[in-house]
């Protein structure tokens, strides 16, 4: 058994986005991601072999989807399911406050 808090142990400095695997079992992976002004590198798209359910727990962000060039703004409490191989990128995260994501990757 393991217990923690999703908003705990956030480093004072985040030179890079922080990604932590919380659980990985049976083809499902749960991650905590912490961003502070971080974005996906220009010209890069996530094209994942698994589907993803992702929620903004704290902060705010914008995701861009390659198909139809859709830009989605997300605030605390917002979540989305992203099917496998739907190309997307993080276009913006709040530079003044940590954005905490909870991501579930599944087959």
Domains of the chain by start residue, with CATH: 19-106 (2.60.120.10)
pTM of structure: 0.93
**pLDDT at 91 (0 to 100):** 97
**pLDDT tens sequence across 67-93:** 999 999 999 999 999 999 999 999 999
DSSP string, the chain: -----TTSS--S--SS-EEEEEEEETTEEEEEEEESS--PPTT--B--SSEEEEEEEESEEEEEETGGGEEEEEETT-EEEE-TT--EEEEEE-SSS-EEEEEEEE-
């Amino acid at each position: 058994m393991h217990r923690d808090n999703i908003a705990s142990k956030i480093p004072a400095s985040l030179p890079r986005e922080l990604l932590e695997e919380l659980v990985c079992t049976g083809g499902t992976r749960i991650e905590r991601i912490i961003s502070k002004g971080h974005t996906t590198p220009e010209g890069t798209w996530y094209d994942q072999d698994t589907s993803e359910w992702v929620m903004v727990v704290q902060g705010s962000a914008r995701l861009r989807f390659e198909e139809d060039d859709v830009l989605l703004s997300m605030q605390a409490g917002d979540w989305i399911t992203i099917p496998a191989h739907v190309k997307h990128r993080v276009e913006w995260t709040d530079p003044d406050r940590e954005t905490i994501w909870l991501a579930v990757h599944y087959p």
